[in-house]
Structure 1
Amino acid sequence: MSNASGALYILSAPSGAGKTTLVKALLAQDNHVCVSVSHTTRSMRNGEEDGIDYNFVTQEIFTHLVDQQQMLEHATVFENSYGTSRQWVESSLAQGKDVILEIDWQGRDQVLAIFPQAIAVTILPPSQHALQKRLQGRGTDSESVIATRMAEAHSEISHYAGSHFLVINDDFTKALDDLQCIFTCRRLKTPQQALKNHQLLSELLSTGD
């Protein structure tokens, strides 16, 4: 991957930590960022659009993509398969876009094994109590489902050390600033800046002869 390419970011978080809302806000203020659209074998739901919410494919096609090593990561959840297209990610990076993958810690570890230069970020709630209140505040899940999500959250949180950065989503504005800072900091590294400002650097280093 050349210095001109974008960076691959892996964002992981327990359900209710606010990852989706943070990513949406980041996209609204940073036009150099895009989010990978996962492939899935599950049926399309009302209001969803193919290619926008997911790339909906048959199990046969999905299995073929996996066999051809065209998936950066993949998993089966409730008998449905989900995965990230390696070709799409590499194409987007080559165009200079920073790409976000919204996946769990297991997917994160799969991707880091293939793309060790990827940047992994874990987003956490400020407390278990706050997480439970957020899940209850959705008003869409029963208490038993919330209890299951809390157990899943504990598992997800326990793997935080596999990420390079931690963002605590207590105050939303600060959490968004922290997340943006991670993206901005990478772009300010010398190789990226040297490529972006090569004409300026050439001028500054000119002897004036």
Structure 2
Amino acid sequence: MRGPWGPVYGPIDLEIPTGGVNVLMCPAGSGRTALLTTIAGRMAPQSGELTVFGANNTHEIFTRSALAGIDELDTVPESVTVRDLITEQLRWDAAWYRIVRRADTNALTATCASVFGPHPLPPLDEYFEELSELDRLLLRIALANTKRPPLLVVGNLDFVTSDLNRDLLIGRLIELGCEQTIVTATVNGVSGHDVRSQIPVANADRAELSETQKGTG
């Protein structure tokens, strides 16, 4: 992938196993973000090949994936409530002719329980900005994952700065990985958790690409 200011990522030769939590290890930045959005079918690579669950074009990949935790794509306005966010997502998912009323406790449970697990669900009338880092990301995952596609891409484990909350987040992703393939990313590896794979990714950082170009120029 290239942008107006030069290479964004690549070339990358990457094979991600099916099922479980798969962690891409690479620096944070536009290259990593673009790579994750490409894997989720939200961006088309400019060259090369990409196959996700048998699909090799962005439209088909899009229908097989969910994407959460990418600020450029799923940023949540801070001054809205949990109820409003769930209501909006349910209306987005519903057929055009269906009337979807404001979310209640049953809607909260149906939307969030599988992602939050034993972790307490956020109050319906709580503002998004008042939630903890962990709850904000779990809610973004729950909103993205309402249709439970085979692939779930979660943008950034480093978004959660507390080690305890990060461990809780990874635990929830591992649980989701029993039924989906989870792809996420972090600068450092993940220790103390039974993730499916940890994959170092080269050529996903602008500084690294610049050095590569110097070596090949």
Q: Please, what TM-score do these two structures have when normalized by structure 1? A: 0.27
Identify, as 1 or 2, the structure richer in helix.
Answer: 1
Q: Which protein, 1 or 2, shows the higher relative CO under an 8 Å CA cutoff with sep ≥ 6?
A: 2
Identify, as 1 or 2, the structure richer in strand.
Answer: 1
Structure with greater Cα Rg: 1
Q: Please, what TM-score do these two structures have when normalized by structure 2? A: 0.27
